[in-house]
Chain A
Amino acid sequence: MLGAYLRSLLGSDPAIDDLFQEVLMVAWRRMNDFDRARDFGAWLRGIARNLAMDHGRRRGARLAVERREVLDLLDARFDAVGARFSERTDGIVRCIAELPGPMREVVEMTYARGMMLKQISEALQVAEETVKKRIQRARSALAECMRRSGVIS
């Protein structure tokens, strides 16, 4: 779940793995500060959030999340799923399967096969802007499906 959270914050920034490790190292050093009454995942995400924001400042990179309001809503999503994420992946896969063909196609090409927008555009013979729109609509549709099916509240 930490990896997913970092991806949500940083898009496809190549530093995600470094930050993933950095989060663990910080957590390791600050383990004594962890209040066992709190959710460990939320604590890790708090560290990840700070490190990601600092990474953005230091590198002059734009975070995928540009506004605090969106960041808070994103945190709420991850908090709601929490440690049960792995139990819910079947539901996510079902939602992907239910997507309309053109949306499912771009999701598979982008996330499963790691194709670049240009490659997808050429393969589907549509404009890159069209591919972008399909990806955005597919993600919105997936979020809606996950809500309907109880994957996220």
Chain B
Amino acid sequence: MNEAGRGRPEFVGPSEDGSDQSRADELFVHGVLGAIHERADDAAQRRADAALGAVAKSGRAVPVRGRRLRRVAAFCAFALALGVGSWLMVTPATSQARATVLASLSAVRGAGDHRYEIRTLKPGESALPEKAEGVFDSADGRFLLRLHAPQGHTVLAGRDANGEWAIRRQGGIERAHAREAWPRWATADGEPVLADSVDTLLETLTNSFDLSTLESERIGDRVVQKIGGVRRESSTRGLADRVAVWIDAETKLLERLEMDWDRPLPPARGRDGAGPRDAEGGPPDRPDREGAPAEEFGGGPERGGRMRPPPPGGFPPPEGAGPPPPRPAHEPGMARQGPVMGPAMGPPMGPHKGGPIRKLVIQRIEAPEFAEDWFNAERHADGAWGEP
């Protein structure tokens, strides 16, 4: 640590009077001076700690105790990170995929405004709607979900500085049972699929799905990393059977997420009147709770109907989201009955009712500048769709 107790010299910007070259030179010298004067042990320790943290995030860290041992371990981790070319070749794909998703999680949780459009494919439908059914905004731990409910009203729910909230259909702010405002498809087996935020959804991926890194794709000048996942048998039933996420390789931001409920189901069993999916543990009907606004919000579409595969050639791109990533590849062991199949290759339906939705797609679009009160419940108390 330096004399002033700071880790870095205070930055003085380059002179505004100079040319571009002189500004570049000043910045170059600033970087060089900082690098050669920074005490090596401080810098190494900080970077080693960061390296250890990053490796721990990717699931490879071994807990160590003691400062000296930790330093050694950290140094090893750092050295590993520096010369990782060969190691990369033997790193399990799923670990890389998990690390990528975790990096995206970190990015989404980071400061900044994010907006995602939500579309769903319901039983009996063959293509995603062109117009988004919902919009999810988030910034600094606050979020706002706006959905066009099938019944025609608007579902408004979010989290502000005072916690989660939802707007009652007949008006008023509900905080005690805010999650009851969510449509049925937003929960699975009692667990929220989308109820917290996109970051929770990402976290769920790393915990509940076997992830694998698929090929990277280039969209314009951006490289997008594609991750596929299959729900673990041990995971909560009712979660999607398959997921695919597209993560910007540079920004780590989640660009697109697709969840598919299309796993072939076992023969019927379970409670009377329930299809096998229900018996298997699929999303149950939401229990009514006194005072809860669940039915006021209408929930999601009724279950039932047979699932249909999407059209050959995939779904139309969402509006305003730029070119969408290509659809996930149909990989052995991943897409059991993927949406890339044509109608003639449709999933083996079986006598099940199907889930409340067939597919959920979340697509990042450019976020507008959110007003300071955009996430506050009071701002949306009138139940209107509104704009930032």
| Chain A residues close to B by CB (< 8 Å) | 1, 3-9, 11-14, 16-18, 20-22, 24-34, 47, 50-51, 54, 57-60, 64-65, 67, 69-71, 73-74, 76-78, 85, 89, 92-93, 96, 107, 110-117, 119, 131-133, 135-137, 139-140, 142-143, 146, 152
**Beyond A73-B20, A117-B12, 6 additional pairs, beta carbon < 8 A:** A25-B54, A26-B249, A31-B85, A67-B20, A107-B33, A112-B2
Determine whether B6 belongs to the interface, using a CB cutoff of 8 Å to chain A: yes
Determine whether B28 belongs to the interface, using a CB cutoff of 8 Å to chain A: yes
Tally of A-B residue pairs with Cβ under 8 A? 185
Partner of A17, one of B3, B46, B99, B103: B46
Chain A binding surface, main DSSP class: helix
User: CB-CB < 8 A to B12: which residues of A?
Assistant: 110, 117, 131-132, 135-136
* Alpha-carbon separation in the docked complex, A22 to B249 (Å): 12
Closest beta carbon of chain B to A34's beta carbon, Å: 8
* Alpha-carbon separation in the docked complex, A89 to B54 (Å): 30
Chain B binding surface, main DSSP class: helix
User: CB-CB < 8 A to A5: which residues of B?
Assistant: 31
Question: Which of chain B's residues has its CB closest to A152's CB?
Answer: B28
A111 pairs with B25, CB closer than 8 A:
no
Given contacts A8-B27, A132-B12, are A29 and B96 in contact (CB under 8 A)? yes
Closest beta carbon of chain A to B252's beta carbon, Å: 8
Given contacts A4-B34, A143-B26, are A17 and B4 in contact (CB under 8 A)? no
Closest beta carbon of chain B to A14's beta carbon, Å: 7
A73 pairs with B21, CB closer than 8 A:
yes
B29, B47, B53, B225 pick with most chain A CB within 10 angstroms: B29
Given contacts A4-B34, A77-B25, A89-B36, are A59 and B10 in contact (CB under 8 A)? no
Question: Which of chain A's residues has its CB closest to B33's CB?
Answer: A111
Given contacts A29-B100, A112-B37, are A139 and B81 in contact (CB under 8 A)? no
Question: Which of chain A's residues has its CB closest to B6's CB?
Answer: A114
* Alpha-carbon separation in the docked complex, A126 to B22 (Å): 25
A11 pairs with B13, CB closer than 8 A:
yes
B9 pairs with A111, CB closer than 8 A:
yes
